[in-house]
Amino acid sequence: MGYSGARGGLEAILAAEDLVRRARDHAAAPWAPTEQITARFRLAVDRVMGEAGLHHEDTSAAALRQAEGDPLEASHLVRAHRSRLPRLAVSEPVDPDEMVVLRRIVPAFREPDGPQLLGRTTDYTGRLLEQPSGPPAPAPKPDTEVRERTEEQRRPGRFLDLLRKLDLVVDHRRVDDPEPVDITRTPARPPAERSAALASMARAETGALVALWYRSILGPDGDIHEVTLGEVRHGRLPLRVRHPHTGNPVCVGRFRVTEAEAIEDLDGADEDRSRFDVGYGLCFGHNERKAIAMANLDVANRRFGRTGPLEQLLLLTTDGLDSGGFLEHLKLPHYVTFRSMVERKQAMRAAAEAAEGPRVAEPAGQECR
């Protein structure tokens, strides 16, 4: 509402908002239902769910429709909606090994424990624009993909477990079980617990996180440091809460996540060079870019975060709503601020001219030396 102080400001704001609604509600194309958005733009919907921190496909699809396809604005809408929802219960901790795997690849090992499940991916196809022709094929049932595999195939062992058996990985598992930091109620500030850094990355803007990851692996000469991806998974996890009367955990649904484990070659002077370090990433929906970048940055933050700016960048600059909100506010009126800057410049120029004194005119026909 920064324009309300100007002449006609409130009327201009209302008119601008009306233009948005009229263009959106009275477009030539019909209003797309949330089911169609979820089915046709599932990766965009999943990205909004992750960056907003709320796993609900219909809500994210409705926000993406209202935001006219802008993922950042859609995430903003969902977070605002989320802030008004009551906290009816707190879910129980879930073991990622309970995941019913829909997609699983192990780039670091040819024959891992369990199958390689390519699932839905375009990683191996050419980027050619397809022109739709004819009526669309009927959509498959949601659980068809799950029924094609056995229970054992859908719950394969972890590549990390193999590294542990070979004693090739640093074990960071803790004996205690500290309560994770809730960044929705307590802002994450350095120095922060690992849970706060992981939660911040899980809600970070995907592009910002990927850019920060890419910069972290680039050397001073532009060469890319060796990076190995251990495993990537996409699947469903159970959501459990305690029954208010019996106190027993009850499964109330399932939610989709993407999980990644990144392997780092230790070469520091004070590090165990006979072992690897492993980073972890997990986020809502199907978003492999974020999970992979998150896993690599988890290792980098553990190794270098406390001695450099990486932790501060992770916690303070990757949230899309924070950084995008600051950028968006630049479009609001800054008349008074800029006028004061102009007056300071003019005062500095006047003071400099007064200190120099009046200039003496040179005689005609002589050059200034």
Q: For 166-191, what is each residue's pLDDT tens digit?
A: 999 998 888 888 889 999 888 888 88
Instruction: State how far the Cα of 29 lies from the Cα of 31, in Å rounded to an integer.
Output: 7
Q: pTM of the full predicted structure? A: 0.85
Longest dimension (CA), the chain: 104
Q: Name which of 98-107, 155-164, 190-199, 237-246 the model is least confident about.
A: 155-164
**pLDDT per residue as tens digits for the range 261-307:** 999 988 888 888 899 999 999 999 999 999 999 999 999 998 887 77
Distances (CA, A) of 207 to 312, 314, 319, 334: 17, 13, 10, 29
The DSSP 8-state label assigned to residue 97 in this structure reads: G
Instruction: State how far the Cα of 363 lies from the Cα of 367, in Å rounded to an integer.
Output: 9
Helix (H) and strand (E) counts in the chain: 14, 4
Average pLDDT over residues 187-211: 93
The DSSP 8-state label assigned to residue 32 in this structure reads: P
Residues 6+ apart with CB under 8 A from 160: 169, 230, 231, 261, 278
Q: What is the pLDDT of the chain when averaged over all its residues?
A: 86
**pLDDT per residue as tens digits for the range 46-59:** 999 999 999 999 99
pLDDT of residue 137: 61
pLDDT of residue 360: 61
Q: Please, are residues 158 and 97 in contact by the beta-carbon 8 Å criterion?
A: yes
Residues 6+ apart with CB under 8 A from 184: 53
Q: Please, are residues 108 and 229 in contact by the beta-carbon 8 Å criterion?
A: yes
Average pLDDT over residues 69-81: 95
- Sign of the Cα torsion 284, 288, 294, 296 reads positive
For residue 255, what are the β-bridge partners?
A: 237
Instruction: State how far the Cα of 115 lies from the Cα of 110, in Å rounded to an integer.
Output: 10
pLDDT of residue 2: 46
Query: What Rg value do the Cα atoms of the chain yield, rounded?
Result: 27
Among residues 204, 105, 120, the alpha carbon closest in space to that of 156 is found at 105
Query: Can you say how many angstroms the Cα of residue 176 is from the centroid of all Cα atoms in its chain?
Result: 29
The DSSP 8-state label assigned to residue 269 in this structure reads: T
**pLDDT per residue as tens digits for the range 13-68:** 888 888 888 887 777 677 889 999 999 999 999 999 999 999 999 999 999 999 99
Q: Please, are residues 28 and 50 in contact by the beta-carbon 8 Å criterion?
A: no
**pLDDT per residue as tens digits for the range 111-156:** 788 888 998 898 888 888 888 766 666 655 555 444 567 777 778 8
1 pLDDT higher than 70: no
